[in-house]
Amino acid sequence: MASDIIRSGIGRRTGIALWRQIADAIRAGISSGLGDESGRLPPEMELAEQFGVNRHTVRSAISALVSEGILRAEQGRGTFIIKPERLTYPISKRTRFSATLAEQGQRGESRIMSHGIVPAPEDVARALALFPGAPVLQVRTVGFGDNTPISRATAWFDTERFPEMLPNLLRFNSVTKAFAASGLDDYVRVSTLVEAYHATLDDIEILRLAPGSIVLVTYAVNADLNGKPVQYSKTRFSADRVSLQIDQDPHQPES
């Protein structure tokens, strides 16, 4: 219950400012039913009584959440929850970033942030069926929908099989087109693992998230039509902006 979260949400002498604890408790309470049918929060005085703090401390917490885009304050009416519309990101045999966003009326863009040849860590080598330490291309990207960051990812490719993958990625800014230019006309998703975590400091900075936000993390392997792995990726999605949908339809259009 939202009221239970409020009652147990803060503690003194924790080293964390009371207003920040209250902001985190309100954020947690929102997902548990805090607010009436219109999304309006209880009055500041009522929240102050429930938290056992003064009204100024509650006002500081609400101000922070307004700045983060979670709440909006309306003069004379109160404070309301902003309910963001999430993008639906289907995970299917042919998951393609830009096509997925275009279908929902948004312009999708993936920006390469860094790249380099690195020795394959054990998990990467296992996913790509390589020996640990084998050279792989590592590419870090940030995915945007209408200029809002919604995901950040790290992907690895076998440099022996795809020696031109990096220049092709830099040229086309599309994994699908880079693979095609490298001689691979089609590939499919063969496995996806999804986990949820609290946002890291990097998530907060790169995805412009609030402290305490949740990210959905996917670990994915793509393979050619003979089942040979061609790409391993770890992608971190903002749970406030994206819903992951497991889609069994193998005919999703490509980008």
What's the pLDDT at 104?
63
pLDDT higher than threshold 70 for residue 135: yes
Please give the Cα distance from 204 to 102 (Å, whole number): 26
Tokens of residue 164, six digits: 């031109």
Give the pLDDT confidence of 197-208 residue by residue, as tens digits.
Answer: 989 999 999 998
pLDDT higher than threshold 50 for residue 1: no
Mean pLDDT of 151-174: 96
User: Which pLDDT band holds residue 38 (cuts at 50, 70, 90)?
Assistant: confident
Average pLDDT, the chain: 85
pLDDT higher than threshold 80 for residue 108: no
Domains of the chain in start order, with CATH, are 2-81 (1.10.10.10), 87-246 (3.40.1410.10)
Tell the burial category of 129 from Cβ atoms under 10 Å away from its Cβ (0-12, 13-18, 19+): middle
Please give the Cα distance from 255 to 28 (Å, whole number): 37
Looking at per-residue pLDDT, the higher value among 129 and 245 belongs to 129
Mean pLDDT of 91-111: 71
Return the number of other C-beta atoms located less than 10 Å from residue 45's C-beta: 11
User: Which pLDDT band holds residue 253 (cuts at 50, 70, 90)?
Assistant: very low
This prediction's pTM: 0.71
pLDDT higher than threshold 80 for residue 101: no
pLDDT higher than threshold 70 for residue 9: no
- Write the DSSP assignment of the chain as a string of letters: -HHHHHHHS--TTSSS-HHHHHHHHHHHHHTTT-S-TT-BPPPHHHHHHHHTS-HHHHHHHHHHHHHTTSEEEETTTEEEE--PPPEEEEE-TT--HHHHHHHTT--EEEEEEEEEEEEPPHHHHHHHT--TT-EEEEEEEEEEETTEEEEEEEEEEETTT-TTHHHHHHHHS-HHHHHHHTT----EEEEEEEEEEE--HHHHHHTTPPTT-EEEEEEEEEE-TTS-EEEEEEEEEETTTEEEEE---TTPPP-
